[in-house]
Amino acid sequence: MLKKKHYSRVSLHLVPEGFPIMTERPLITLGFSSHRMEVLPYEQEEMWRHDAIVLEEAPEPGFIDVLSKRADLGTYLENQDMEFPEFSHRQFERLQELHQARKAIYQIEPYLERIIEIHTLLAQGAPPQEVADQPHLRPIYETEKQADGLLLKFYACSHTAPFQRVVIAVKEFARADAARFRLRDELRAQALLPLVDHFSRIYVEAGYIHLYLVKTLRRLLSGKARLRPVFLMASLARPAVGVPRPLGPGDLLTLFHIFQGGLSEKSEELLAARSLFILNCSRKPKWPPTRAPRRTYTTRLQPIASLNIFPLKTVPSSILG
C-alpha cells in the first residue's frame, strides 16, 4: 500500500468566500517571461491590474502563512531549493504587498505538482511500476521517462560522438521535450478554468516557452473569457531586435514540435546545429539588481540582433504578437 503525500487539487473551494460568480466575460492575461531580475518591475505592474494572480509553481505548505507574514520568508525559500533564489525572494516580497491589498494569489502547476508526488512516492520506497500505474501519474511518469532518457543520451554522446550524431540526439530530445510541454500546458489550462467563474481579471505567470497554453486555453474556454498574451519585456525587445521576445534556435526547434507543423528536415537539422553552437558559445550573466533594467536587457539582446540566426517570422504571428 503506497503512502501517498497529500497535494491539493485546484477546484472551486480555493476561491475565497465573497467572490461572486462572474456574469461578464473575464480577462486572462498570460504574462510570458523568464526568471530574471529585470522582469520584476514589468511583472509587478501587470499583477496590480488584476484580481487574481496565478504563479507557475506547485502548491507548497506554508505558502499562505508566508504571504500573510505569519512565517519567515527566508526560511520558506531555503526549504524550497529555488533555482533563482534572488529573483524568488524579491518576487515574493512583491506578492506579500499584493496579498495585503487583497489580491487572490494561487500556485497552480499540476504537472510539477505530480512530479513532486512521483518523487515523494519513489523516495518512500514505492516500486516504480506501482507509481507509474496510478492513472493520474501515468502520463507524467511516461513523458518524463522518455524525455529524460533522450536527454541522457544527448549528454552521453555530446563530447565524443561525431557532430551529425549529436545533432540527431538534439532533434530526438526536442521532440520528447515538446511532448512534455504540450502535456504540461494542457494540464495547467484545465486547472485554470475554475477561476474564470469567480474573477474578472486573472494574471497567469508563464515561462516564455509555454505558448501552447494560449492555444489550449482558447480551445477549452470556447469564448468564455478573453485571452491577452503579453511578453513582459516586449517594450525593450522590439526596439532592439524587432520582435516582442527573441527566441534561440533550440527554443524555436522545440516550439515547432510543440505546435506540430511546418518544419522541413533541413530546417530541423539547421536549428538543432545552431542550438549546439549557442550552447557552447553563449553565457548567461546574472545581472545585479542595482543595474538599470533597460541597459541590462537591451545589452543582452544586441548579440542576438547581430547574429541574425533567429527566424522569428516563422513562429505564428498570432502568438508572438
For 79-129, write each residue's pLDDT tens digit: 887 788 899 999 999 999 999 999 999 999 999 999 999 999 999 999 999
Residue 132 phi/psi, 5-degree rounding, is -65, -25
- pLDDT category at 319 given cuts 50, 70, 90 is very low
Q: Which three cell numbers stand for residue 297?
A: 536587457
* Strand ranges across the sheet with 52-55: 104-107, 52-55, 201-207, 27-33, 226-231
Radius of gyration for the alpha carbons in the chain, expressed in angstroms and rounded:
21
Cα 252–Cα 185–Cα 250 angle in degrees, nearest 5: 15
Neighbours of 43 (CB within 10 A): 19
- pLDDT category at 240 given cuts 50, 70, 90 is confident
Average pLDDT over residues 129-134: 96
Regarding predicted confidence, which is higher, 218 or 17? Answer: 218
Average pLDDT over residues 4-11: 36
What whole-number distance in Å separates Cα of residue 97 and Cα of residue 53? 13
Q: In the prediction, which pLDDT does 284 show?
A: 52
- pLDDT category at 150 given cuts 50, 70, 90 is very high
pTM of the full structure:
0.84
Cα 314–Cα 185–Cα 138 angle in degrees, nearest 5: 125
CB 244 within 8 A of CB 231: yes
CB 310 within 8 A of CB 252: yes
Hunting for cell 510570458 — which residue is that?
32
- Whose CA is closest to 194, among 258, 134, 114, 110? 110
Residue 228 phi/psi, 5-degree rounding, is -130, 90
Query: How many whole angstroms from its chain centre is CA 46?
Result: 17
Lowest mean pLDDT among 109-123, 174-188, 258-272: 258-272
Average pLDDT, the chain: 84
